């Protein structure tokens, strides 16, 4: 592939032309993954004059994509007047009607949602499936009703909804004879585009979701293709291995606002095998003010692995703007002296602070999963 930048429309065309069963794409947050999903949809299934009224019909879909599912089908009614009847409105359309009314998947959605959140947090669908409210079991038969769930929990709920739809459509399309299928609503479907399913999960659940999603994709025996995009290196790594892929893709936005989609082959897709252990070890040392010389070595290793994963020739390219300053500090503590009598200097407070600064820089700028605290609750991004 050439090094010239392309528009997202051209990148979408590149994806379509590649004709791969499962293109797996890594990109930093804010690169344009969601916009790419829309460009791809418009390319594969452009709207024609007069079709607007039928745009929500499931049978007309050639591309089903998760990001639009999140944005278009669910919205909160916060009952601002009384602040008592808070519920998540479900935009009625062919998707929700088929999943809830025709297939009765509300229990499956609830089970998946509780698995990834808490078995004490229960969704309650209205009889016409136009909305859902949530209650929280507090023990001793006490129940808190009309709970306003967090953004992370909302994301989990919507993914659970989408997951139920995905299971059903794969099962239907696996029936080779069209006449034998219980529904014809998926017959025109060619692609499923999934953009960062749930970024709010802890690492254990994130791994589990990746494993489950990979198994679901592998169960597909039809010509259906799955395009997966993520900014999370761990999620990418697990999917790459579980799907048995030989190469992945790296989406990058250039300074002139054009894009490149380059192939990542071999071990560059597996460079994060133990990056979490390194990250957590350094985090614990920083939190306990126990940073020592060897933590600089671990930090350098983490930078090297990240650079290898992202295709940089030098790990120092990932350092903050004043690269030479930080590079010299790290080199100072990671060089191996052969003089046994030489005094082993311990890091000063300022040097210890450098470890935290550089770890935070890596996490904030290069797609690492990290917890965030909002409204007194711990979430993730």
pLDDT score for 238 = 86
- In this structure, is residue 231 part of a structural domain? yes
d(C-alpha 380, C-alpha 202), whole Å: 7
- In this structure, is residue 214 part of a structural domain? yes
Q: Please give the tally of structural domains in the chain.
A: 2
d(C-alpha 279, C-alpha 332), whole Å: 21
pLDDT score for 376 = 44
Pair (222, 326) in one structural domain: no
- In this structure, is residue 381 part of a structural domain? no
- In this structure, is residue 286 part of a structural domain? yes
Pair (27, 147) in one structural domain: yes
Pair (291, 310) in one structural domain: yes
Whether this prediction's pTM lies above 0.85 is answered by: no
Residue 356: partners with Cβ closer than 8 Å, 6 or more residues away? 286, 291
Indicate whether 377 pLDDT > 50. no
- Residue that wins the pLDDT comparison between 102 and 269: 102
- In this structure, is residue 202 part of a structural domain? yes
Q: Describe the strand order of the beta sheet including 63-65 as a list of residue ranges.
A: 63-65, 191-195, 225-230, 24-26, 247-253, 259-265
pLDDT score for 369 = 54
pLDDT score for 72 = 60
* Residue 70 structure tokens: 């999140």
Q: Which helix (H) or strand (E) holds 263?
A: strand 259-265
State which of 218, 240, 269 marks the end of a domain.
269
Pair (325, 355) in one structural domain: yes
Pair (279, 265) in one structural domain: no
CATH number at residue 234: 3.40.50.300
pLDDT score for 69 = 57
- In this structure, is residue 113 part of a structural domain? yes
Question: Mean pLDDT, to the nearest integer, of 353-359?
Answer: 92
Indicate whether 221 pLDDT > 50. yes
Pair (301, 317) in one structural domain: yes
d(C-alpha 249, C-alpha 259), whole Å: 13
Pair (323, 304) in one structural domain: yes
Highest mean pLDDT among 94-108, 159-173, 186-200, 356-370: 159-173
pLDDT score for 346 = 78
- Do residues 122 and 115 lie in contact, with contact meaning Cβ atoms separated by under 8 Å? no
Indicate whether 125 pLDDT > 60. yes
Pair (96, 173) in one structural domain: yes
pLDDT score for 312 = 84
State which of 269, 294, 320 marks the end of a domain.
269
d(C-alpha 268, C-alpha 305), whole Å: 9
- In this structure, is residue 1 part of a structural domain? no
Q: Which helix (H) or strand (E) holds 214?
A: helix 203-218
The chain-wide mean pLDDT, for the chain, equals 81
Pair (108, 182) in one structural domain: yes
pLDDT score for 18 = 92
Pair (229, 174) in one structural domain: yes
Pair (202, 316) in one structural domain: no
Instruction: Read off φ and ψ for residue 273, nearest 5 degrees.
Output: -55, -40
Indicate whether 73 pLDDT > 80. no
Our measurement of the distance from residue 199's CA atom to the centroid of its chain's CA atoms, rounded to an integer in Å, reads 5
Range of the structural domain that residue 295 is part of: 275-376
pLDDT score for 225 = 97
Highest mean pLDDT among 18-22, 50-54, 75-79, 326-330: 18-22
Distances in Å between the Cα of 103 and the Cα atoms of 72, 99, 169 are: 21, 5, 11
Question: Of 264, 339, 332, whose CA–CA distance to 299 is shortest?
Answer: 332
State which of 269, 303, 333 marks the end of a domain.
269
- Do residues 209 and 182 lie in contact, with contact meaning Cβ atoms separated by under 8 Å? no
d(C-alpha 160, C-alpha 218), whole Å: 19
Distances in Å between the Cα of 344 and the Cα atoms of 288, 335, 348 are: 21, 12, 12
d(C-alpha 241, C-alpha 254), whole Å: 29
- In this structure, is residue 107 part of a structural domain? yes
pLDDT score for 251 = 92
The model's confidence at residue 280, banded by pLDDT at 50, 70 and 90, is confident
Ranking 42-51, 170-179, 330-339 by mean pLDDT, the lowest is 330-339
Indicate whether 237 pLDDT > 70. yes
Sign of CA dihedral 159, 163, 166, 172: negative
Pair (245, 346) in one structural domain: no
């Amino acid at each position: 592939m050439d090094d010239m930048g392309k528009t997202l429309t051209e990148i979408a065309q590149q994806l379509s032309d590649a004709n791969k069963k499962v293109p797996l794409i890594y990109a930093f947050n804010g690169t344009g993954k969601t916009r790419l999903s829309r460009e791809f949809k418009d390319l594969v299934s452009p709207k024609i004059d007069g079709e607007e009224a039928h745009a929500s019909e499931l049978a007309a879909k050639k591309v089903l994509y998760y990001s639009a599912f999140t944005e278009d089908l669910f919205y909160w009614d916060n009952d601002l007047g009384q602040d008592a009847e808070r519920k998540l409105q479900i935009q009625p359309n062919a998707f929700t009607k088929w999943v809830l009314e025709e297939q009765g998947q509300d229990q499956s959605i609830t089970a998946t949602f509780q698995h990834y959140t808490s078995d004490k947090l229960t969704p309650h669908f209205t009889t016409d499936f136009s909305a859902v409210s949530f209650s929280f079991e507090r023990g001793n038969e006490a129940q808190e009703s009309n709970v306003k769930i967090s953004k992370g929990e909302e994301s989990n709920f919507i993914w659970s909804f989408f997951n139920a739809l995905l299971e059903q459509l794969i099962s239907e399309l696996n029936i080779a004879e069209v006449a034998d299928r219980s529904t014809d609503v998926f017959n025109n479907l060619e692609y499923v585009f999934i953009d960062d399913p749930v970024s709010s999960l802890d690492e254990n659940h994130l791994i589990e979701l990746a494993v489950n999603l990979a198994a679901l994709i592998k169960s597909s025996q039809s010509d259906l293709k799955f395009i997966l995009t993520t900014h999370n290196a761990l999620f990418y790594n697990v999917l790459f291995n579980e799907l048995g892929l030989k190469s992945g893709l790296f989406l990058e936005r250039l300074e002139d606002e054009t894009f490149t989609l380059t192939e990542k082959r071999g071990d560059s897709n597996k460079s994060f095998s133990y990056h979490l252990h390194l990250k957590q070890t350094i985090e614990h040392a920083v939190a306990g003010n126990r940073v020592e010389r060897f933590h600089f070595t671990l930090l350098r290793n983490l930078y090297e692995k990240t650079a290898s994963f992202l295709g940089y020739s030098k790990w120092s390219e990932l350092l903050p703007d004043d690269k030479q300053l930080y590079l010299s500090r790290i080199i100072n503590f990671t060089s191996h002296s052969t003089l046994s009598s030489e005094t082993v200097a311990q890091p000063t407070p300022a040097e210890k602070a450098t470890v935290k600064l550089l770890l935070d820089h890596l996490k904030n700028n290069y797609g690492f999963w990290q917890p965030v605290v909002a409204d007194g609750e711990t979430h993730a991004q």
